[in-house]
Structure 1
């Protein structure tokens, strides 16, 4: 790995090794205890203590069945905080403005972080009665239209790694709370090309979401349009969904 500056006069080896682990995790989808120990040139017990501390602080998490180490919520939280000031938001914001102007409803851009959806950009509806912005908020992906749209881009194997048991978290009585029900819903989303949520994340709120093609970006992104339940008719769903699909298709051309 490339070093960004000269070695400090008084290096702290344990800190250096912990940072090396995080850098290695940036290059690989998961880490094993043995490969961490081998990479650092330390005993397995030392590698285990380093990983345990990173896990304690939320920078890594351990997959229950495989025992592999994956990025934790603290690490991805830092990454997405930086992402809010990064190029992808600047690049895609004009397309959110288009959607907001066309629909006159609140629109969001979201990113998938494991089993969590994070809202990284938003424009509120100009109407008096509107869905308030969720900018900066996060919630279980299975409870949000954006989350479901992005989960539909995962393989069955990846979905099962994300949700190893059938029980899922919920936010309202309408939230999908089982993996079996979620898989059925994801199949419907893949067939129609967009996701719908009706009071699954918040009472009184419906939303429609379209995920970006996964081959266009290393991130899993989605746009959504959020509408008060009483204002969203069946004809509106199809109209907004088609508008969003066309917008996402154009926006995706700018991603690498």
Structure 2
């Protein structure tokens, strides 16, 4: 089982980074022996799951992963199930909305409905973001299993842990996360958890330019909560 976990951890680490990573970097980041990392990289490379980066000694996602990404975006149950709710939220709020899910090393946008109004933000379908910045990531950390959140906290220094834990406590107390400019300057965001039974499945996030959001932020919070509740009810009674 440990061999399989190491292979998946290395693969996830490579996929989650925006730049190529070599064997030594992977070994240091994941605390896996260098000899083991080399062995796993050979297996992943042979299967086309990773490939050598151009003009770099590091590795990036391989050709096999491209087809998987296309298939996920086309057939993802989450994206298809939640699209009507996103469309309704955007129609009512006139702002951008997204479904964000957790992965071991980042958050992933699996469904996105863009606002008819201008919004400059980093979120895109299939896009990855930090696990510790922004309303989406912090709401995920606040509501997912504690052992998973603890693994993320262990990567931070004491001051960062203390600050983040205070934010997570606030999010769990009020039931949603808020952020301003943590990922993109002057972008306001609110996120509510999407739960299947007692397990966090995703978060529903509404984003808007801060200058617009500050004029009616409570309305945006209420609308996001309304559609998050509808999704949660749908998951409880899918038929």
- Same fold? TM cut 0.5: yes
Q: Which 4+ residue blocks in structure 1 deviate beyond 6 angstroms?
A: 46-49, 77-80
Give the direction of change, closer, same or farther, for the CA distance of 1:196–1:135 in structure 2 (3 Å limit): same
Whether contact under 8 Å (2:95, 2:116) holds in the other structure is: yes
Give the direction of change, closer, same or farther, for the CA distance of 1:152–1:53 in structure 2 (3 Å limit): farther
**1:112-152 C-alpha deviation (Å, 9 max, x unpaired):** 1124111112111112x334552221110211211111111
Q: 2:113 aligns with which of 103, 115, 123?
A: 123
Given the alignment of the two structures, is residue 202 of structure 1 paired with residue 184 of structure 2, yes or no?
yes
Q: Secondary structure at the match of 1:255?
A: helix
Q: Secondary structure at the match of 1:254?
A: helix
TM-score (norm 1): 0.62
Equivalent residue runs for 1:170-189 within 5 Å: 178-189=160-171
Give the direction of change, closer, same or farther, for the CA distance of 1:123–1:145 in structure 2 (3 Å limit): same
Q: Secondary structure at the match of 2:143?
A: coil
Q: Secondary structure at the match of 2:154?
A: coil
Q: 1:221 aligns with which of 178, 181, 202?
A: 202
TM-score (norm 2): 0.66
In structure 2, list runs of 5 or more residues that go unmatched.
9-34, 50-59
Q: 1:138 aligns with which of 125, 128, 133?
A: 128
Inter-partner Cα distance in structure 2 for 1:167 and 1:117: 21
Q: Secondary structure at the match of 2:235?
A: coil
Give the direction of change, closer, same or farther, for the CA distance of 1:130–1:48 in structure 2 (3 Å limit): closer
Larger Cα-atom Rg: 1
Higher helix share goes to which structure? 2
